[in-house]
């Protein structure tokens, strides 16, 4: 699974994801820090990346490469473990939205 992290994702979450060998790109590394949701979505689609976010706006999008909505109070390590477990269990995230860490960690 390849991830793009939304602009509000803490650096500790990115570090934890990379520690689990999950290909993770923060929005700020590939788009302007001011990129809006549509720009992030377009990049995610074109690069086949699942969006990790805590922005509820992504929950209403129907056509997407996958959305992982996380509880910002969750431990970054649990978030990373949840993503790893999802990657191991699910073949494709296309048009799938999951809440993490939840039962995944």
> Whole-number mean pLDDT of the chain?
94
Provide the pLDDT for residue 76.
95
Tens-digit pLDDT profile for residues 60-94: 998 999 999 998 899 999 999 999 999 999 999 99
Q: Which residues pair with 97 in a beta bridge?
A: 67
DSSP assignment of 17-53 equals HHHTT-EEEEHHHHS-TT--HHHHHHHHHHHT-EEEE
DSSP state of 72: T
State residue 102's pLDDT score.
84
Whether 95 and 63 have beta carbons less than 8 Å apart is answered as yes
* Reported confidence tier of residue 55, pLDDT bands at 50, 70, 90: very high
Contact predicate 65/93, CB 8 Å? yes
Three-state SS for 77?
helix
Domain 2-100 has CATH 1.10.3470: no
Report domain extents, the chain.
2-100
For residue 38, what pLDDT is reported? 94
pLDDT at 29: 96
pLDDT score of 23: 98
């Amino acid at each position: 699974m390849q991830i793009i992290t939304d602009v509000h994702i803490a650096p500790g979450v990115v570090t934890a994801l990379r520690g689990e060998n999950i290909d993770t790109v923060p929005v700020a590394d590939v788009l302007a820090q001011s990129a809006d949701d549509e720009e992030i979505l377009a990049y995610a689609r074109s690069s086949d990346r699942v969006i990790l976010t805590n922005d509820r706006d992504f929950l209403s999008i129907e056509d997407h490469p996958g959305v992982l909505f996380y509880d910002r109070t969750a431990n970054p390590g649990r978030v990373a473990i949840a993503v790893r477990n999802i990657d191991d269990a699910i073949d494709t995230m296309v048009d799938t939205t999951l809440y993490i860490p939840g039962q995944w960690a």
